[in-house]
């Protein structure tokens, strides 16, 4: 029986009607059971699961008793989960599977409503053969929101081309503890940087017609001791002024259409059950109109992990009433919603509100239009790793690599006859470039017969192609995690036979302890993983004895403690998981074909312990006045990054000495390329509040812009700083702009700020209502 035969005159399928009309017409036709079904989901997992194959927390714990598609979608279905991203399938096979599933969903319910298909897409469409862009922490190092937007647009185009409607990205968690395994998925430790890049991602993905999903709302990265899923014990001021900022930016400035909750509990309150978070802050304060989707099994976790509900059914009612709309990855706790309405423990109005939001997205996506198709007919021909994709991935990698140290112009390496020793586990393992949510590391690492699914070149291969006149000799030395040191003597022999050594160490991403970085791969301290610190020490010692310079190449997902090695290295290069084109990008930076322009989105800590600590802290957090034997200063600060050319930042000018509490100040400076080659510099603007009614960060990033300049060229950079950019949560919990004197500093890193000035804010304390200014517009004008 066709849909037309089941229900005549379906107004909701008429594209000439408004979205509201169509939604209300369909909502009025649904039974309570059909409404509840629109809030559920189904995950078509592979029949043969690989050993240790969980790709979501406690996945295997939910195997027993899970319903099949018929048992889940008989009354309808809200979402289909990861049809392309759960096992190795090519676009044609994935599209066929999606068509089969969608037809089942449509044909086995009274009104024939299709499901929204969602996938992971943090570093590219997480499916076989799709482009693996740099990890999000590398986006942070680029300091380029426009580049992130271009990447997200390409990701969205690829997803839409095969029938996917929603992507579970970006991650807007602000790093608070470097030990947390998911640092690689974040964009750094500054909320304004994270928010600016996150807005770019949201705009790019949604311009392609794919719903973006913010995660993890909120506080997830602030867990105790950096442990995944651990409780979060931060105060309301840190939550408002640090953690929530990127999410508010993405809602207000990016117009994001979906949000995913955090697994953590905030001072005992799990976000999945928090009306304050999901409704009070997100909807009532910020005006969010989209859907809230649960992180995988987060609703059921209210019973099993948080123990704030006595049963799964109770957990479902609690979460829905708080503001949750869709349970992912498959219906579990929401199976009891219809019964809850029947017995009066859940109001019809609460159910209808959530269903209305889901239906609104389905109408907007075209799922209820007469010409809708489960997957485009052209899906089989989609090239998911096109040349254009790879070119952009390469550009992103090149623009994100950070030259941390370069003594005596050790880099770049000229193409000339010389012996280069390449030592370390990262040199011959290209998966070190990839984050834990790339398909090769997320899924294919357990299906070895498929390889990586994309073309990758190792550091050794890429450097050999880049420097054909050189002789390269490689020794692994140690593994990523194995404590075995039996390979170290071979590495030291390579040192003795080399003119220069490239020492490559870092991470290999995985899930739940199967890697050194990634979800569930937390660490007790910031020593290099496994025996790699021992390898570095041994190589540096041997090299010093023979006068051989050593370039330390860090390919990592988090920052590691390097202070103990710094003075013994000739150069340090930090590549934050640079994606599938990482080999070419790294080799290009080492050879000088690429002039590095990346900046540290997280500081490189000096100490292995003494965490957590980021640059964004009040005086007691960042200064050492002899009250402790632990110095919190990093080896290299947030925003640091060198170039093969030199830049001067000069001629600071403020448009006024004072502004009103709702006024705007123009701050201008000139950046000049004073070197002999073209390059790019990130001009960074910081504010400070010397005296306030509560402790404030010693400085915070308020504006930034990356400027490309030819040799001797200059540009005038102007930032428009609204008084709201000084606002904070006052003693009574209200956001205020407080009059007084403020500091301005402009430079090239949080600890390299040659231009400083002051201005005043005059008037009475102003309470800042909702809708405050969240960004600092900038302009760049070339100078003669």
C-alpha pair distances (Å), 310 with each of 266, 318, 760? 20, 11, 55
CA angle (452, 457, 462) in 5-degree steps: 175
For residue 726, the 8-state DSSP code is G
| CB 654, CB 666: distance < 8 Å | yes
Model pLDDT, residue 10: 85
Measured between alpha carbons, how far is 289 from 277 in angstroms, rounded to an integer?
A: 14
The answer, yes or no, to whether residue 446 has pLDDT greater than 90, is: no
Strands 714-722 and 664-673: antiparallel
DSSP codes, 631-663 = ----SB-TT--B-SS-EEEEEEEES-SEEETT-
Q: pLDDT class for 466, splitting at 50, 70, 90?
A: very high
Beta-carbon-side half-sphere exposure of residue 676 (alpha carbons within 13 Å): 1
pTM score above 0.85? yes
Average per-residue pLDDT in the chain? 94
Q: How far apart are CA 573 and CA 424, in angstroms?
A: 14
Task: For the chain, give the number of residues.
Answer: 784
Start-end of H helices in 108-144? 136-142
Q: Which two tokens stand for residue 450?
A: 């498929």
Estimate to the nearest angstrom the gap between the alpha carbon of 465 and the chain centroid.
32
Task: Give the Cβ contact number of residue 335 at 10 Å.
Answer: 18
Rounded Cα distance, 598 and 397, in Å: 9
**Of 295, 292, 220, residue with least CA distance to 256:** 292
Rounded mean pLDDT, 263-277: 95
Residue with tokens 């229900």: 7
**3-class secondary structure, 246:** helix
Confidence label for 609 from pLDDT (cuts 50, 70 and 90): confident
Q: Are strands 500-506 and 419-423 parallel, antiparallel or unpaired?
A: parallel
d(CA 423, CA 126): 31
Q: pLDDT tens-digit profile of 339-385? A: 999 999 999 999 999 999 999 999 999 999 999 999 998 998 999 99
CB 158 within 8 A of CB 393: no
Write out the DSSP string of 576-619.
E---TTHHHHHHHHHHTSS------SS-B-S-SSS----S---H
pLDDT at 3 over 90: no
Q: Which residues of 284-305 are buried (b: 16+ CB within 10 A; e: fewer)?
A: eebebebbbbbbbbbbbbbbeb
Backbone torsions φ then ψ of 62, nearest 5 degrees: -105, 10
Per residue in 163-192, pLDDT (tens digit) is 999 999 999 999 999 999 999 999 999 999
Residue with the two structure tokens 């709302």: 217
Residues 409-422: what's their mean pLDDT? 97
Per residue in 649-705, pLDDT tens?
999 999 999 999 999 999 999 999 999 999 999 999 999 999 999 999 999 999 999
pLDDT at 6: 46
CA distances from 253 to 248, 262, 287, 373, 774 (A): 8, 22, 12, 32, 8
For residue 270, pLDDT over 90 is answered with yes
HEC per residue, 217-234: ECCHHHEHHHCCCCCECC
| pLDDT score at 622 | 85
H/E stretch holding 23? helix 19-29
Measured distance CA(150)–CA(146) in Å, rounded: 6
Q: Which two tokens stand for residue 704?
A: 């930034």
pLDDT in tens, 80-132: 999 999 999 999 999 999 999 999 999 999 999 999 999 999 999 999 999 99
Check if the beta carbon of residue 604 is closer than 8 Å to that of residue 562.
yes
For residue 392, pLDDT beyond 90: yes
**What angle (nearest 5°) sits at the alpha carbon of residue 286, between those of residues 281 and 292?**
65
Q: Beta strand 166-167 with 211-217: parallel, antiparallel or unpaired?
A: parallel
Residue 613 pLDDT greater than 80, yes or no: no
Give pLDDT, residue 444: 86
């Amino acid at each position: 029986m066709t849909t037309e035969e089941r229900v005549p005159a379906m107004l909701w399928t008429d594209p000439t009607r408004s979205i509201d009309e169509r939604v209300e017409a369909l909502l009025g036709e649904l039974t309570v059971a059909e409404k509840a079904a629109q809030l559920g989901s189904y995950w078509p997992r592979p029949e043969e699961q690989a050993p240790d194959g969980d790709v979501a927390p406690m996945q295997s714990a939910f195997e027993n008793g899970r319903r099949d598609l018929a048992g889940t979608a008989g009354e309808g279905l809200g979402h289909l989960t990861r049809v392309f991203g759960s096992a190795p399938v090519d676009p044609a096979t994935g599209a066929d599977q999606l068509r089969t599933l969608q037809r089942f969903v449509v044909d086995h319910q009274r009104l024939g409503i299709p499901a929204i298909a969602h996938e992971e897409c943090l570093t590219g469409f997480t499916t076989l053969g799709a482009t693996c862009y740099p990890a999000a922490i590398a986006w942070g190092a680029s300091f380029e929101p426009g580049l992130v937007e271009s990447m997200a647009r390409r990701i969205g185009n690829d997803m839409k081309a095969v029938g996917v409607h929603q992507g579970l990205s970006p991650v807007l968690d602000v790093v608070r503890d470097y030990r947390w395994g998911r640092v690689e998925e974040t964009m750094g430790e500054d909320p304004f940087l994270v928010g600016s890049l996150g807005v770019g991602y949201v705009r790019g993905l949604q311009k392609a017609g794919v719903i973006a999903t913010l995660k993890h709302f909120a506080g997830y990265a602030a867990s105790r001791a950096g442990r995944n899923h651990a409780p979060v014990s931060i105060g309301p001021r840190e939550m408002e002024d640090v953690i929530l900022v990127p999410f508010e930016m993405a809602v207000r400035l990016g117009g994001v259409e979906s949000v995913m909750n955090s697994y953590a509990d905030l001072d005992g309150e799990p976000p999945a059950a928090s009306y304050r978070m999901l409704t009070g802050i997100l909807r009532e304060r910020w005006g969010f109109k989209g859907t809230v989707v649960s992180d995988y099994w987060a609703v059921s976790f209210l019973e099993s992990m948080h123990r704030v509900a006595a049963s799964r059914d109770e957990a479902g009612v609690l979460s829905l009433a708080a503001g949750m709309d869709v349970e992912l990855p498959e219906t579990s706790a929401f199976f009891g919603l219809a019964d809850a309405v029947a017995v009066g423990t859940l109001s019809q109005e609460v159910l209808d509100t959530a269903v209305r939001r889901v239906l609104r997205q389905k109408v907007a996506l075209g799922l209820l239009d007469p010409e809708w198709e489960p997957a485009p007919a052209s899906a089989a021909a989609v090239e998911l790793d096109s040349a254009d994709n790879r070119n952009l991935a390469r550009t992103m990698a090149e623009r994100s690599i950070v030259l941390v140290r370069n003594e005596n112009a050790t880099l770049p390496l000229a193409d000339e006859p010389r012996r280069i020793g390449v030592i370390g586990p990262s040199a011959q393992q290209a998966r070190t470039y990839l984050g834990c949510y790339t398909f090769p590391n997320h899924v294919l690492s357990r299906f070895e017969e498929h390889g990586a699914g994309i073309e990758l070149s190792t550091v050794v291969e890429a450097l050999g192609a880049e420097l054909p006149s050189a002789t390269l000799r490689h020794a692994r030395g140690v593994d990523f995690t194995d404590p075995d040191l039996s390979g170290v003597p071979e590495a030291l022999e390579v040192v003795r036979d080399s003119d220069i050594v490239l020492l490559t160490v870092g991470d290999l991403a995985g899930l739940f302890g199967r890697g050194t970085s990634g979800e569930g791969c937390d660490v007790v301290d910031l020593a290099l993983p496994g025996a790699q610190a021992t390898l570095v020490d041994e190589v540096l010692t041997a090299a010093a004895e023979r006068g051989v310079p050593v370039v330390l190449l860090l390919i990592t997902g988090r920052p590691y403690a390097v202070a103990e090695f710094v003075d013994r290295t000739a150069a340090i290069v930090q590549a934050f998981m640079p994606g599938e084109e990482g080999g070419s990008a790294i080799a290009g930076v080492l050879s000088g074909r690429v002039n590095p322009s990346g900046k540290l989105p997280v500081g490189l800590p000096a100490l292995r312990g003494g965490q957590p600590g980021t640059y964004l802290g009040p005086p007691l957090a960042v200064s050492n006045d002899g009250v402790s034997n632990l110095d919190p200063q990093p080896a290299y600060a947030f925003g640091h990054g060198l170039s093969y050319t030199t830049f001067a930042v000069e001629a600071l000018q403020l448009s006024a000495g004072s502004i009103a509490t709702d006024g705007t100040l123009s701050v201008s400076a000139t950046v000049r390329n004073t070197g002999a080659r073209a390059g790019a510099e990130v001009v960074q603007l910081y504010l400070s509040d010397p005296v306030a009614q509560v402790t404030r960060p010693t400085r915070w990033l308020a504006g930034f812009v990356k400027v490309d300049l030819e040799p001797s060229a200059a540009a005038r950079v102007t930032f428009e700083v609204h008084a709201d950019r000084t606002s904070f949560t006052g003693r009574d919990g209200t956001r205020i702009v407080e009059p007084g004197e403020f500091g301005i500093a402009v430079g090239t890193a949080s600890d390299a700020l040659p231009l400083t000035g002051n201005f005043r804010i005059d008037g009475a304390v102003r309470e800042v209502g909702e809708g405050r200014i969240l960004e600092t517009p900038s302009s760049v004008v070339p100078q003669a």
